[in-house]
């Protein structure tokens, strides 16, 4: 059986929110099978649980925000991307402010935290959302068009193309493909002509790779890993969430599946990543 996963023990981090500038403490804790990923605002007079799901997304300006009532958590996508990459199904995220700390700006710090705590299998089948029919959302037309699409695929593959039309981007890659069977970083600051980060870019095509990172996190807000090929042109947090909602609105377009034998699952999903 391909099993669900959680953490072996808890792990903590302290940082600041990218958009709020608030100091925030983050505690990642193991959770029982079928819990899902749940953010918990422990700084409020009465702690509030905010389970991750597509309908919980209430704001997509600059980042993905999830809410329950007045309680919200901003910028969840990089932590969600790390969880997607490590195949973590169940997790409690205790947080002392309304925004996930940016740390180094990528998913790598979250991957390090999760692997340091140890990832363990649980006695419950891992559930996937397998896309059966092509689902697409779009906006605008001509030079202003944006779109995102999910297509049937035995695995998980993401293809993203950007069109920033900026000198610093024109000299780097505008498209990248990431396949889960084969094996992401900081907010990038630019003026009108160049990258202002003191250490420059980590990859030649970092701009478009960062969009893949965001998309992985946005799509994992679905609550279960996807078996699909995702492709997008100039998409963002809002369109990614629209795509998930469109998928969920069409029951014939997907099914929830498990794998009795791990070897039956697509490559990249069966092996546990080693702890650091």
Q: Is there a domain that residue 52 lies in?
A: yes
Could you give the CA distance from residue 218 to residue 241 in angstroms, rounded to a whole number? 7
pLDDT value of position 126: 97
| Number of domains the chain contains | 2
Helix axes 237-248, 206-220, angle to 10 degrees: 40
Give the per-residue pLDDT at 251. 97
Q: What's the confidence (pLDDT) of residue 240?
A: 95
The pLDDT value given to residue 190: 30
| CA diameter of the chain | 54
Query: Which pair of structure tokens corresponds to residue 158?
Result: 């993401």
The verdict on 76 and 101 lying in the same domain is yes
Residue span of the structural domain in which 108 resides: 3-126
Average pLDDT over residues 127-142: 95
106, 126, 146 - which closes a domain = 126
Long-range contacts (CB closer than 8 Å, 24 or more residues apart) made by 243-249: 243/135, 243/136, 243/137, 243/148, 243/149, 243/150, 243/219, 244/54, 244/218, 244/219, 245/54, 245/55, 246/135, 246/136, 246/137, 247/129, 247/131, 247/135, 247/150, 247/222, 248/54
Give the end of a domain, one of 94, 111, 126. 126
Residue 119 has pLDDT above 50, yes or no: yes
Mean pLDDT of 133-156: 93
State the Cα–Cα distance between residues 252 and 229, nearest whole angstrom. Answer: 17
The CATH number that applies at residue 133 is 3.30.1700.10
Across the chain, mean pLDDT equals 84
Name the domain boundary from 126, 155, 180.
126
d(C-alpha 270, C-alpha 2), whole Å: 7
Q: Tell me, what's the pLDDT at 180?
A: 79
Decide if 176 contacts 232 (C-beta within 8 A): no
Average pLDDT over residues 99-124: 87
How does pLDDT run across 171-211, given as a tens digit for each residue? 444 567 788 777 633 333 333 333 333 344 344 444 445 57
pLDDT at residue 20 in the model? 73
Q: Would the pLDDT of 3 be above 50?
A: yes
Q: Evaluate whether residue 276 is within a structural domain.
A: no
- Cβ contact 97:76 at 8 Å: no
Q: Which residues are catalytic?
A: 237
pLDDT at residue 97 greater than cutoff 50 = yes
> Is the domain of 157 the same as that of 89?
no
Q: What is the DSSP letter of 267?
A: T
**88 and 180 housed in the same domain:** no
Structure tokens at 32: 């029982």
Look at residues 257, 209, 217 and name the one whose alpha carbon lies nearest to residue 54.
217
For 14, the token pair is 């302290």
User: Which residue did the predictor score with more confidence, 108 or 246?
Assistant: 246
Determine if residue 34 is left, alpha or beta; phi over 0 gives left, psi from -120 to 50 gives alpha, anything else beta: left
Q: Report yes or no: 47 and 38 within 8 Å, Cβ to Cβ.
A: no
Task: Output the domain CATH number for residue 43.
Answer: 3.30.230.20
CA–CA separation, 127 and 258 (whole Å): 5
Q: What average pLDDT does range 161-170 have in this prediction?
A: 54
pLDDT in tens, 35-47: 999 999 999 999 9
The pTM score is 0.83
How many Cβ atoms sit within 10 Å of the Cβ of residue 10?
A: 12
Q: Are 116 and 28 found together in one domain? A: yes
């Amino acid at each position: 059986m391909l099993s669900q996963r959680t953490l072996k023990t808890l792990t903590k981090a302290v940082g600041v929110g990218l958009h709020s500038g608030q100091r925030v403490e983050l505690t990642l804790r193991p959770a029982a099978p079928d819990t899902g990923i749940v953010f918990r605002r422990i700084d409020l007079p009465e702690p509030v649980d905010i389970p991750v799901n597509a309908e919980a997304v209430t704001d997509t300006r600059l980042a993905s925000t999830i809410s329950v009532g007045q309680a919200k958590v901003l910028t969840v996508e990089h932590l969600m991307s790390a969880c997607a990459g490590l195949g973590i199904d169940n997790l409690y995220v205790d947080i002392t402010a309304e925004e996930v700390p940016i740390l180094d700006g990528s998913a790598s710090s979250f991957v390090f935290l999760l692997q340091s705590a140890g990832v363990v299998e649980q006695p419950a089948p891992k559930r996937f959302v397998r896309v059966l029919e092509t689902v697409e959302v779009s906006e605008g037309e001509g030079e202003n068009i944006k779109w995102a699409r999910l297509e049937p695929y035995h695995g998980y593959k993401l293809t993203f193309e950007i069109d920033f039309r900026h000198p610093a981007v024109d000299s780097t890659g505008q498209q990248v493909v990431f396949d889960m069977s084969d094996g992401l970083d900081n907010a990038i600051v630019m003026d009108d002509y160049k990258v202002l980060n003191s250490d420059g870019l980590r990859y030649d095509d970092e701009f478009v790779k960062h969009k893949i990172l965001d998309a992985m996190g946005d799509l994992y807000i679905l609550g279960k890993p996807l078996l699909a090929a995702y492709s997008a042109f100039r998409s963002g947090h809002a369109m990614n969430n629209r795509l998930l909602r469109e998928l969920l609105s069409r029951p014939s377009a997907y099914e929830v599946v498990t794998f009795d034998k791990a070897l039956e699952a697509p490559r990249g999903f069966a092996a546990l990543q080693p702890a650091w």
